[in-house]
Amino acid sequence: GESVGLHLPTLSVQEGDNSIINCAYSNSASDYFIWYKQESGKGPQFIIDIRSNMDKRQGQRVTVLLNKTVKHLSLQIAATQPGDSAVYFCAFDGNEKLTFGTGTRLTIIP
Amino acid sequence: EAGVAQSPRYKIIEKRQSVAFWCNPISGHATLYWYQQILGQGPKLLIQFQNNGVVDDSQLPKDRFSAERLKGVDSTLKIQPAKLEDSAVYLCASKRAEQETQYFGPGTRLLVL
Reported confidence tier of residue B26, pLDDT bands at 50, 70, 90: very high
- Give the per-residue pLDDT at B3: 94
Task: Inform me whether the C-beta atom of residue B91 falls under 8 Å from chain A C-beta atoms.
Answer: yes
Rounded Cα gap, residues B38 and B110, in angstroms: 10
Percent of chain A whose predicted confidence (pLDDT) is above 70: 94
- Give the domain extent around B17: 5-100
Percent of chain A whose predicted confidence (pLDDT) is above 90: 70
Give B86 or A93, the one with higher predicted confidence: B86
Asked if A42 lies within 8 A of B107 by C-beta distance, the reply is yes
- Residue B49 in domain: yes
Who's near A47: CB < 8 A, 6+ residues apart? A34, A35, A36, A37, A59, A62, A75, A88
- Give the per-residue pLDDT at A81: 96
Asked if B42 lies within 8 A of A89 by C-beta distance, the reply is yes
Residues of B whose CB is below 8 A from A45: 104
- Give the per-residue pLDDT at B6: 98
- Give the per-residue pLDDT at B30: 95
Q: Is the pLDDT of residue A1 over 50?
A: no
- Give the per-residue pLDDT at A5: 63
Class of A10-109 in CATH? mainly beta
Residue ranges of domains in chain A = 10-109
Q: Please name the residue of chain B whose CA is at the shortest distance from the CA of residue A44.
A: B104
Reported confidence tier of residue A93, pLDDT bands at 50, 70, 90: confident
End-to-end CA distance of chain B: 37
- Residue B113 in domain: no
Q: Where are the beta strands (DSSP E) in B1-113?
A: 5-7, 10-13, 19-24, 31-37, 44-50, 53-56, 65-68, 75-79, 88-95, 103-104, 108-112
pLDDT, tens only, B29-85? 999 999 999 999 999 999 999 998 999 999 999 999 999 998 889 999 999 999 999
Asked if B42 lies within 8 A of A103 by C-beta distance, the reply is yes
Quote the DSSP letter at residue A53.
T
- Residue B16 in domain: yes
- Give the per-residue pLDDT at A3: 58
- Give the per-residue pLDDT at A6: 64
Looking at the 3D structure of chain B, how many domains does it have?
Answer: 1
- Residue B106 in domain: no
pLDDT, tens only, A33-69? 999 999 999 999 999 999 999 999 999 999 999 998 8
- Residue B110 in domain: no
Reported confidence tier of residue A31, pLDDT bands at 50, 70, 90: confident
